[in-house]
Structure 1
Amino acid sequence: MPIRNIAIGHPHEATQPAALKAALAEFISTLIFVFAGQGSGMAFNKLTDNGSTTPAGLVAAALAHGFGLFVAVSVGANISGGHVNPAVTFGAFIGGNITLLRGILYWIAQLLGSVIACLLLKFATGGLTTSAFALSSGVGVWNAFVFEIVMTFGLVYTVYATAIDPKKGSLGTIAPIAIGFIVGANILAGGAFDGASMNPAVSFGPAVVSWSWDNHWVYWAGPLVGGGLAGIIYEFVFIGHNTHEQLPTTEY
């Protein structure tokens, strides 16, 4: 059973060159992603006098995050797996695809990458504040909690189907773009309600730099629950029991 694959890992794992290189890759990929995503919002606000909450701003955010994540996953895939998200790492751990200690190393790198990206943006823009994630008017914390669960479930499920599943075949070549697409689509769906984080690191960096922590727990609890559910369902149902035969390469 897949649950048997869940492992804590060995303490010396955190000092192995491969693990350190993977953590560095996660740091760089997350920095690239957050810099592009947050930077696009700041640029749109500057050009449109705080118009990032308009329909055009939502589309711009979806495109910037989708493109940025496509690149961030692509450049990290061969080194760390290109998680770029603590919720993805948690989902991979729940499915037995990464040890706990290596996952913690990834988390530290991802959170640091987000904070550094936001600090660089604040410096490069002459002191403009990075926008912390917040709930829209009329949206309660439990509404946002459900939004984050569902959106992150879709994201991590996509990661499993296109990048982790050993039967993915040639489908793995489109994993980065599929992951970018689902994030962009989810921003269009949920961005007007709670900002559509789906990623605790993406929420953490702006919160630290702007020191704004209102309802911040939603952007951790929702993604971790959604990512964990996706990892459990995909690993146990579709990988653990080997329910289908791999399609021939020509079918893709």
Structure 2
Amino acid sequence: MAEEKLEMGQVGAPLMSSDSTSNRSPTRPPNKFERVIQPCVGELVGTTFFVFIGCVSVIENVETAGRLQPALVHGLAVAIMVACMAEISGSHFNPPFTLAIYLCGGMELNMVIPYLACQLLGGVTGAAMARAMTTRENYAKAQGAAFALLQSDDQLGRALFGEVAMTCLVTMVVLLGAVNAKSKSPLVPFMVGCTVIINVLAGGDVSGTCLNPARAFGPALVSNYWTYHWVYWVGPIGGGLIAAALVRLLLGDRKTRLILK
């Protein structure tokens, strides 16, 4: 996507870029529907289907596949939805991404709250769709794909650290691949999807690898499972803020960095 779209004139920074726009003939400025309503619908629809597919992959997980099945499904779902929705909403689908992109200058403040609301609503809708599709037995066994891995306080430290570190990693990929002009890449959907896959494979047995409060909130609400749910808000949001700070202070280009210009 052309660099001028990151000059706070667009709703959100897209997670993929294209240089082909420079060859297109001039078009009329986007109207209110295209600037406000359509991006919110894109976030709602994208988050809905990401959570729906992700939850079904967990609920119907074949034991012999282990972590591989949910890892591939979550990662590929992210890559596909990012590629499809990038020019509509920016393809955030994750509250920490939205916060980090805003803090790095990639979207306007007035759209942050609507994006977050649509993402959480999408998480609930996707979880409800997963419940409607799967068998009652499998749904109950998996707690509706809510993160039921944590069962004692002894696990909290490792799980919280894992959520912070892994969300920081994937958020840095988003910021450096889509927002930072010096490192922007058209391969962002592939990069983000692969990062989700390796995170799930690496940390699935430690925290469940949520990385997304919307992904945690929807299944928790639909299945009424709230055990240690706060970890999947504090960890991902903390990781996203750390990633934003790293890009703003150290890794970003001169336009993005706040210091040492």
* Structures share fold, TM-score greater than 0.5: yes
- RMSD of Structure 2 on Structure 1 (CA): 2.3
SS at match of 2:227: coil
Query: Is 1:22 equivalent to 2:39 in the alignment?
Result: yes
* CA deviations over 1:169-194 (Å, ceiling 9, x no partner): 5x2x1100100000110001110111
Relative to the length of structure 2, the TM-score reads 0.78
The answer to whether the Cα contact below 8 Å between 2:42 and 2:89 also exists between their aligned partners in 1 is yes
Cα–Cα, structure 1 residues 194 and 238, in superposed 2: closer, same or farther, change >3 Å? Answer: closer
The answer to whether the Cα contact below 8 Å between 1:135 and 1:141 also exists between their aligned partners in 2 is no
Distance in 2, Cα, partners of 1:105 & 1:140: 34
* CA deviations over 1:181-226 (Å, ceiling 9, x no partner): 0011000111011110000000011100101111111100111111
- Shift of residue 40, structure 1, vs aligned partner: 1.1
Query: Is 1:133 equivalent to 2:147 in the alignment?
Result: yes
Structure 1 counterpart of 2:197: 184
Relative to the length of structure 1, the TM-score reads 0.81
SS at match of 1:167: helix
Structure 2 matches for 1:37-186, cutoff 5 A?
Answer: 37-44=54-61, 48=62, 51=63, 56-127=65-136, 128-129=139-140, 130-136=144-150, 140-169=155-184, 171=185, 173-186=186-199
Structure 1 counterpart of 2:242: 229
The answer to whether the Cα contact below 8 Å between 2:180 and 2:253 also exists between their aligned partners in 1 is no
AA aligned to 2:224 is W
Question: How many residues of Structure 1 are paired with residues of Structure 2 in the alignment?
Answer: 222
The answer to whether the Cα contact below 8 Å between 2:97 and 2:171 also exists between their aligned partners in 1 is yes
Distance in 2, Cα, partners of 1:143 & 1:120: 31
* CA deviations over 1:16-63 (Å, ceiling 9, x no partner): 42121111101111112111111111222xxx4xx3xx6x22011110
Structure 2: runs of 5 or more not aligned: 1-6, 12-30, 257-261
Structure 2 counterpart of 1:12: none
* CA deviations over 1:132-167 (Å, ceiling 9, x no partner): 113346752222111110000000000011111122
Structure 1 counterpart of 2:226: 213
The share of aligned pairs that are identical, in percent, is: 33
- Structure number with the higher helix fraction is 1
* CA deviations over 1:77-128 (Å, ceiling 9, x no partner): 1111111100101111222322333111111111111111111111122543
The answer to whether the Cα contact below 8 Å between 1:163 and 1:175 also exists between their aligned partners in 2 is yes
